[in-house]
Amino acid sequence: MRTPQLPDVGSFIREQRERSALSIRKLAEMTGVSNPYLSQIERGIRRPSAKILRSIAEALAIRTETLYERAGLLDPVEAPGVRLAIAQDMTLTASQKQALMEIYKSFITNDQEDS
């Protein structure tokens, strides 16, 4: 019987680790978590504690809240201020606003698709 998959925090951690060009061994060393346990987290077999998520976030230089959201410990929060700030910025042209909005949406969409 296959172990049920936990929220995608593990795959997100793996992606961030790979983007940071860190081996699983190096991340384990940086966080004080064993290699096998970190591997199980990345594969969605184990559910990390808030403390472990915090140490992983620090090692990967990402917001702790991001990992908490991915793990289902916090509800996702969108910053509506970004869209509003782009729309109301009088120094930007319409095409610049559109480009910035598309870039912002691509980041938000990628994060939501991963969840």
Residue ranges of the domains in the chain? 9-70, 80-114
Could you give the CA distance from residue 78 to residue 34 in angstroms, rounded to a whole number? 33
- The Cα 76–Cα 62 span in angstroms is 15
CATH number, span 9-70: 1.10.260.40
CB atoms near residue 41 (< 10 Å):
24
Return the closest-CA partner of residue 63 out of 47, 41, 79. Answer: 79
Least confident of 44-53, 55-64, 98-107: 98-107
In this predicted structure, the answer to whether residue 112 has a pLDDT above a threshold of 60 is no
Q: Which residue has the higher pLDDT, 101 or 2?
A: 101
Residue 67, pLDDT above cutoff 90: no
Mean pLDDT of 68-78: 77
pTM over 0.75: no
Asked whether residue 68 carries a pLDDT value surpassing 60, the answer given is yes
Q: Any idea what the Cα angle at residue 17 is, between residues 65 and 26, rounded to 5°?
A: 115
Rg (CA), the chain: 17
Over residues 85-98, the mean pLDDT reads 89
pLDDT over 70 at 80, yes or no: no
The pLDDT score that the predictor gives to residue 115 is 39
